[in-house]
């Protein structure tokens, strides 16, 4: 049987992905001065583009300059210069594949030492036990702030298309703002954005409509959605099925399935659900459940490192497999698979008992590899997670000073 891995995937927008392998978004936190991409990000994406992926999805690009997941986050709003994004799009397309920009608002998942705003559907803070103080205390968004945030997503998407990107992915997973609105545990609103799932999904659906209206029909629009939040009483697979059905008539090309949040970090390979304990394709059981009824093509991300696992996912009916960590360690993995070869190394697993700290160390370890790739080096996946975490903290402190200074300066529309 011919492998589906290297067959093209036509999308509703008229685009066709050259194969079924995508680099899923990893939060690089590598913005240069002015919160824009610079040569390091360009070099990193050229490495991936040369490795054979059909689709590159960027790490978080923030729609609101005052709401960043980290101080070295990239911002694309009405004031951002477009030239660096033009270069980024060129780098991502240099291998013949497509590049989509993941666009996001962190909501309440903002570090407590960050300037700017910490918003949520309600004022319920992130609960991480003794680490809870790492995050700011959120304030409930007003209707005006919700409407302005919808508009910001549309502005970022329009400018991404102008810069030469092939599409955007709206981030509604991993506990960020839209995921917070979808969650019955976090969203306790009593107005039109709270209560029923239809109300909790309203902001996401309004953003999809606004984005689709702001870009051309041939520009791809995707949504990243949790298959489940892995929290008792939270957003679950049944909710995900209904949201996918709501997205179907709105011109969405693809839905990427992941899972978890900072409170339950299943996306880093520490699933809180017994059904997803497999070392690879963490969310495959849930995806199989969703793919049977989904009217939209699905992409599955989470823990895939071997070709056999990727083919198992595609055989289940999923249209695209997404990889993050595997491509941070082996940026040419798709080309290796084409040649019947596998990765010769794996990322070191972080088995610390403190799950919140282990999740942070795991993400720091990934970003440590990304910075090495961006500087022309080879990954060092065996690096001790504590070393990566200390390196990350040092860089974050420096980036925080730069971000504070940038945010305090007046900006004019580009």
Count Cβ neighbours within 10 Å for each residue of 133-143 and write b for 16 or more, e otherwise.
ebbbebeebee
Determine the pLDDT at residue 133. Answer: 76
Binned at pLDDT 50, 70 and 90, residue 274 comes out as very low
- Average of per-residue pLDDT across 147-166: 98
d(CA 88, CA 71): 20
Domain boundaries, the chain: 4-342
pLDDT digits (tens, 9 = 90+) for 185-219: 999 999 999 999 999 999 999 999 999 999 999 99
Contacts of 397 (CB under 8 A, 6+ apart): none
- Residue 115: CB atoms within 10 Å: 14
Please report, in angstroms and rounded to a whole number, the separation of the first and last CA atoms in the chain: 52
Rg (CA), the chain: 19
The answer to whether 6 and 20 have CB atoms below 8 angstroms apart is yes
Determine the pLDDT at residue 24. Answer: 96
CATH of 4-342, one of 3.20.20.70, 3.40.50.620, 2.115.10.20, 1.20.58.340: 3.20.20.70
| Residue 236: half-sphere exposure toward Cβ, Cα within 13 Å | 7
pLDDT digits (tens, 9 = 90+) for 162-180: 999 999 999 999 899 999 9
The answer to whether 11 and 54 have CB atoms below 8 angstroms apart is no
Six-digit token string for 105 = 């608002």
The answer to whether 71 and 403 have CB atoms below 8 angstroms apart is yes
pLDDT digits (tens, 9 = 90+) for 297-352: 999 988 889 999 999 999 999 999 999 999 999 999 999 999 999 999 888 888 89
- Average of per-residue pLDDT across 392-400: 95
Q: How many residues in total does the chain contain?
A: 414
Cα four-point dihedral sign 83, 85, 86, 91? positive
The answer to whether 299 and 54 have CB atoms below 8 angstroms apart is no
């Amino acid at each position: 049987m011919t492998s589906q891995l290297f067959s093209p995937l036509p999308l509703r927008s008229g685009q066709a992905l050259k194969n079924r392998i995508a680099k899923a978004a990893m939060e690089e936190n590598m913005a240069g001065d002015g919160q824009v991409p610079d040569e390091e990000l360009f070099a990193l994406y050229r490495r991936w583009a040369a490795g054979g992926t059909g689709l590159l999805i960027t790490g978080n690009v923030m729609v609101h300059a005052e709401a960043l997941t980290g101080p070295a986050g990239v911002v694309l709003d009405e004031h951002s210069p477009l030239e660096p994004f033009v270069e980024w799009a060129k780098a991502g397309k240099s291998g013949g594949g497509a590049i989509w920009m993941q666009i996001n608002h962190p909501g309440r998942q903002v570090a407590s030492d960050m300037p700017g705003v910490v918003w949520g559907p309600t004022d319920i803070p992130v609960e991480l036990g003794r680490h809870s103080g790492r995050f700011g205390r959120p304030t409930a968004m007003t209707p005006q702030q919700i409407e302005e945030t919808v508009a910001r997503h549309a502005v970022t998407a329009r400018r991404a298309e102008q810069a030469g990107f092939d599409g955007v992915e709206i981030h509604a997973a991993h506990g960020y703002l839209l995921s917070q609105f979808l969650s019955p545990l976090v969203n306790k609103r009593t107005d039109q954005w709270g209560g029923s799932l239809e109300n909790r999904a309203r902001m996401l659906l309004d953003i999809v409509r606004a984005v689709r209206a702001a870009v051309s029909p041939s520009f791809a629009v995707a949504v990243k959605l949790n298959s489940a939040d892995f929290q008792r009483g939270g957003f679950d697979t049944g909710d995900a099925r209904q949201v996918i059905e709501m997205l179907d008539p709105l011109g969405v090309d693809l839905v990427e399935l992941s899972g978890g949040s900072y409170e339950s970090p299943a996306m880093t390979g520490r699933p809180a659900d017994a059904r997803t304990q497999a070392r690879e394709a963490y969310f495959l059981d849930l995806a199989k459940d969703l793919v049977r009824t989904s009217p939209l093509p699905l992409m599955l991300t989470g823990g895939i490192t071997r070709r056999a696992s990727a083919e198992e996912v595609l055989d289940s009916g999923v249209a695209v497999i997404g990889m993050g960590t595997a491509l941070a360690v082996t940026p040419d993995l798709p080309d290796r698979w084409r040649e019947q070869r596998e990765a010769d190394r794996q990322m070191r697993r972080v088995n610390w008992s403190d799950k919140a700290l282990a999740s942070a160390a795991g993400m720091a370890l990934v970003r440590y590899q990304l910075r090495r790739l961006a500087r022309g080096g080879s990954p060092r996946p065996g690096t001790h997670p504590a070393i990566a975490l200390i390196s990350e903290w040092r860089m974050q402190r420096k980036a925080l000073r730069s971000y504070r200074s940038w945010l305090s300066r007046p900006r004019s529309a580009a």
